[in-house]
Amino acid sequence: MPAPHWPAPTATAPVTATVPLPGSKSVTNRALLLAALADGPGVVRRALRSRDADLMVSALRALGASLVAVEETSAAVDWQVTPGPIRGGARIDAGLAGTVMRFVPPVAALADGPVSFDGDPHARKRPMGPILDALRSLGARIDNDALPFTISGPLAGGEVTLDASGSSQFVSGLLLTAARFEKGVTIRHVGPPVPSQPHIEMTVQMLRAVGVRVDAGERDVWRVEPGPIAARDMTVEPDLSNAAPFLAAALVTGGSVTIPAWPLETTQPGDALRDLLTTMGATVTRQDAPAALADTVDIAGAAAGTTDLVVTGTGEISGIDADLRDVGELTPVIAALAALATSPSRIRGVSHLRGHETDRLAALATEINRLGGDAEETDDGLIIRPRPLHGGVFHSYDDHRMATAGAVIGLAVPDVSVENIATTAKTLPEFTRMWTAMLDSR
Ligand SMILES: O=C(O)C1=C[C@@H](OP(=O)(O)O)[C@@H](O)[C@H](O)C1
Ligand SMILES: C=C(OP(=O)(O)O)C(=O)O
């Protein structure tokens, strides 16, 4: 029986809360994969515990790595990762995780036998063609152009041209394993612009941090030299994209939300929230002297230190005209804020969101309009005009970021209930508890 819809709490007063966030999905799943391919045992600290991270752990274990939790809370875990010979015969469940369905097949192509992949029903619709074709041209055999498929090596590596306009993960997936290909890899993108550039920078930076030689000097071309991946201790930053709904609560309620341990330098796209929320009417400040992260190397960039990030709203939200191509995963929360704004908004550059957990442009327009709003899909984004909203069911389409967008709207609009709030477990299993705690704190 499906769970009852979640009654999204309406804020009765401005929120004043400090919200520590669990680790980044994107950093966690890269760090685990690199550790599993490394030249010796290593530790991934403060890794996220969530459905996507659990799927990555299971995939890497199925392929022969040992991952042992050495320190664990409900939201975070330190993994001791010991690489092993990459085993064929595995069946990998990608769930709905882009990072599993695009990052793990190149590893599987190194295995000593065929490896099969499948995932959730909607995962079979997510674009895979360009990365599977690329793997084929590098030597792999693959029996389909989307999930489900079976992949067999060996894979020599070499030069490949692909169109990565549908997802940056096609590039990141190839880059992460490329040092283990006999010839390394040279990837050339041809086509409309590649989205989510910060996520590619995250991949490049993390590879360099484990000693892999990457040349990313020419636009749309990446070259990885063959060679070992060094075993390192890595520490995962808080998930700045998952900061979005909590920071949005400051704008909606005219309150103030603090996120501790915000990295001063990071490749995470969530860092763009500082500018986006300022444009929408918030005051964004950093507090505390930067404190260098303790004893471990943060391979995604926060070695420069962290700070408290404080976002304060007025209760009035300004519309925004923004190209979110680089930070597409922020779109659902920005659209939720736009639906509550006093002036029109235009979100551009995000046609690739049609290939995310759901077609996010269609889903956002449908759900905002269902609550009485005025949202219109364009070729590459959304136009959202101010109109009073009313209560109703906000459908999540099994998309964690749709679910949190519904929660943001519910703060201001009475009687909104979110269908399948449990889908937030993809990247933030404790979402409802954290949301309630935020609203309860004073
Ligand atoms: O590499 C990553 O960790 C991600 C890349 C982006 O994918 P797209 O380029 O497909 O948008 C992003 O939206 C996704 O949430 C995570
Ligand atoms: C697009 C997203 O996820 P995935 O890693 O599954 O692509 C997302 O988290 O917004």
Is the pLDDT at 366 greater than 70, yes or no? yes
CB atoms within 10 A of CB 89: 12
The stretch 127-133 carries a mean pLDDT of 98
Residue from 377, 347, 348 nearest 361 by CA: 377
Per-residue model confidence as pLDDT tens digits over 311-334? 999 999 999 999 999 999 999 999
Say how far residue 191 (Cα) sits from the centre of its chain.
23
Is the pLDDT at 53 greater than 90, yes or no? yes
What pTM, to 2 d.p., does this model score? 0.97
- Could you tell me the residue ranges of all domains in the chain? 6-21+239-440, 25-227
Nearest-CA residue for atom 13 of ligand 1: 329
> What CATH class has 6-21+239-440?
alpha beta
Say how far residue 116 (Cα) sits from the centre of its chain.
24
Which tokens belong to 265? 């330098």
Residue spans of alpha helices (H) in 266-419: 273-279, 331-339, 360-370, 400-412
Distance 113 CA to ligand 1 centre (A): 29
Q: For residue 142, what are the contacts with CB-CB under 8 A and spacing of at least 6?
A: 105, 132, 135, 136, 149, 150, 151, 152
* Ligand whose nearest atom lies closest to the CA of 99: 2
Confidence label for 293 from pLDDT (cuts 50, 70 and 90)? very low
3-state secondary structure of 322: strand
- 356 CB within 6 A, ligand 2: yes
Nearest-CA residue for atom 1 of ligand 2: 356
How high is the pLDDT of residue 289? 52
How high is the pLDDT of residue 297? 43
- Tell me the pLDDT of the chain averaged across its residues: 95
The stretch 228-236 carries a mean pLDDT of 97
Per-residue model confidence as pLDDT tens digits over 233-283? 999 999 999 999 999 999 999 999 999 999 999 999 999 999 999 999 999
Residue from 37, 348, 29, 23 nearest 169 by CA: 29
* Ligand whose nearest atom lies closest to the CA of 327: 1
* Paired residues of 234 in beta bridges: 44, 297
Look up 329 and say whether it is catalytic.
Answer: yes
CATH 3.30.70.100 applies to domain 25-227: no
Which residue among 329, 357, 367, 419 is the active-site one? Answer: 329
Residue from 131, 206, 126, 132 nearest 171 by CA: 131
State percent of the chain over pLDDT 70.
Answer: 96
CATH fold match for the domains 6-21+239-440 and 25-227 = yes
Which tokens belong to 401? 């970021």
Comparing 69-73, 86-90, 369-373, the range with the smallest average pLDDT is 69-73
Is the pLDDT at 388 greater than 60, yes or no? yes
CB atoms within 10 A of CB 4: 9
How high is the pLDDT of residue 295? 39
User: Is ipTM beyond 0.95?
Assistant: yes
Nearest-CA residue for atom 12 of ligand 1: 329
